[in-house]
Amino acid sequence: MSDVPHCRVLLVEDEASDANLVKRALRASPGMHYEVVWVTNLGQAKQQLQQGQHDVVLADLSLPDSAGLHTVQHLHQARSIVPLIVLTGNDDGGFALQALESGAQDYLVKGDFDNDSLTRAIRYAISRARLEQRLIQSEALLRTVTDYTYDWVYWINPQRQILYMSPSCERISGYSRSEFIAFPDLLERIVHPDDQALMQTHLLGEGKEFAEADFRIIRRDGEIRWIAHACNAVRGLDGEDQGRRVSNRDITERKRLEAELRELATTDTLTGLSNRRHFLARLEEELARVKRLDALHTAVLMLDLDFFKRVNDEYGHLTGDAVLVHFATLMREALRKIDTGGRVGGEEFAIILAGADQAAAQVFAERLRSKVASTPLRQHGTEILVTVSIGISVLDPADASADAVLMRADGALYHAKRSGRNRVETTP
């Protein structure tokens, strides 16, 4: 029996030629055996999801019995735990974001992906779905824990004296009940310095019937833990204020999972830069800012590694990935904190230079181009020299969408490549 990992794929595609392209791409993957079930419409897909066991769904949005977001929503409802990757013939960033918000894990443009990008997308979608399941399971566990008073619970009177402190305080904070009772201000002293202002604001609002806040504490052993803090007013029979009943829940693991999911959702896993989806969202935000502040300048750069296919052909894809990481590192080092760098294609990158006009962007681009050209990747005793072509445009308040500036910058990039590569060009 083969030890090659097994992945069950439900392919929803009514065009036989497109389906065959996907199947051939999956068969070419050396590290995974893909078992593909092919159906041609939404009805068949829903039956398969109800009856079969599938690891991932690849679905065209234009089907005989369904189209567009309707397809995404119905597939997601049929089996939300199975990750869905949309196959689309239109590279529309706005529509892709809608598909992702409707339940898809990722999207691929037909004719614009190769074997590696398809299999990477599948691995990413399955990984993210598993993380989401773990987050759901974690929240279910926390609910069960709360039912058994596993949380750190206490009752504090209006004079800030502790009337009751649950034993869980020591498990969560490292401090004993007797320490909290003897030193009531210990509750505030263990709050992380960066969250002290938040806690003070929360304490000022404790006159309300219910209040809550998330903040960090520093345990006795120095470990930082996240706390979900909720408190209710305690009233006597005559309405007299008898203090607050407080529940502190340790949500450190949930915060870690949320951060990991955010990272997967916004980051290109190879280079650590923003992925295409997140970059486009940031660009739309920047365009809105330029429209609001008419005098603001923001430049957009499109970058493409020259002759990158030769690197893959001569040294292999692992070295090609190392070159991409090497270039991304150089690019990241050149950026300011307010700038955004993203990987928007195989060897295609893009940059948002906030507050930069065309002249400033050209200076930046020339400096980066020179740095890349003079900094070869050294690997296994071999120097691999790469260069980059760069196209520049500037956001215009009259732009209807971010696509307009991307098209202009892409046109400048095309001119740079046609003019000999390893150069910077700007739009007129």
Which tens digits make up the pLDDT trace of 302-321?
Answer: 999 999 999 999 999 999 99
pLDDT higher than threshold 80 for residue 80: no
Q: Does a structural domain hold residue 260?
A: no
* Nearest alpha-carbon partner for 212 in 187, 248, 241: 248
125 and 53 in a common domain: yes
Domain membership of residue 166 (yes or no) is yes
Strand partners, 341: 351
Predicted local distance difference test score (pLDDT) of residue 3: 64
Buried residues in 312-343 as b, exposed as e (16+ CB within 10 A): beebeeebbebbbebbbeebeebbeeebbbbb
Is 1 among the domain residues? no
Report CA torsion sign: 302, 307, 309, 311. Answer: negative
Which whole number is the average pLDDT over 359-373?
96
Asked if the structure places residue 377 within a domain, the reply is: yes
Percentage of the chain modeled with pLDDT above 70: 93
The whole-model pTM stands at: 0.49
What are the tokens at 102? Answer: 């409707």
Q: What is the CATH number of the domain that holds 166?
A: 3.30.450.20
Residues 354 and 220 in one domain: no
Q: Which residues pair with 230 in a beta bridge?
A: 212, 247
Kindly state whether residues 230 and 349 are assigned to the same domain. no
Q: What angle is formed at CA 319 by the lines to CA 124 and CA 91, rounded to 5 degrees?
A: 45
Q: What is the domain range of residue 194?
A: 149-255
Q: Which of 20-29, 288-297, 327-336, 397-406 has the highest mean pLDDT?
A: 327-336
Q: What is the pLDDT of residue 329?
A: 96
Torsion of CA 48, 52, 55, 57, to 10 degrees: 0
Q: Judge residue 49's burial from the number of C-beta atoms within 10 Å of its C-beta, 0-12 exposed, 13-18 middle, 19 or more buried.
A: buried
| Average pLDDT value over all residues in the chain | 86
* Percentage of the residues of the chain whose pLDDT score is greater than 90: 40
Q: In this structure, are 348 and 393 located in the same domain?
A: yes
Instruction: Clarify whether residues 421 and 291 are in a common domain.
Output: yes
Among 86, 114, 144, identify where a domain stops: 144
The reply to whether 238 and 332 lie within a common domain is no
- Is 422 in the same domain as 313? yes
Residue 205 has pLDDT above 70, yes or no: no
For residues 268-293, give the mean pLDDT. 91
Confidence of residue 134 (pLDDT cuts 50, 70, 90): confident
| Cα–chain center distance at 419 | 36
- The string of pLDDT tens digits covering residues 170-182 is 999 999 989 998 8
User: 110 and 130 share a domain?
Assistant: yes
In a domain, 118, yes or no: yes
Query: Does residue 147 have a pLDDT over 60?
Result: no
Structural domain count, the chain = 3
8 Å CB contact between 374 and 330: no
Which amino acid, one-letter code, is at 213? A
Q: Bridge-partner residues for 342, per DSSP?
A: 274, 350
Do 123 and 212 fall within a single domain?
no
Phi (first) and psi of residue 104, to 5 degrees: -75, 150
Q: What is the pLDDT of residues 82-129, one digit of tens each?
A: 888 888 777 665 666 777 777 787 878 877 777 788 888 888 888 887
Residue 422 forms part of a structural domain: yes
Q: Which of these ranges, 35-39, 65-69, 266-270, 284-288, has the smallest mean pLDDT?
A: 65-69
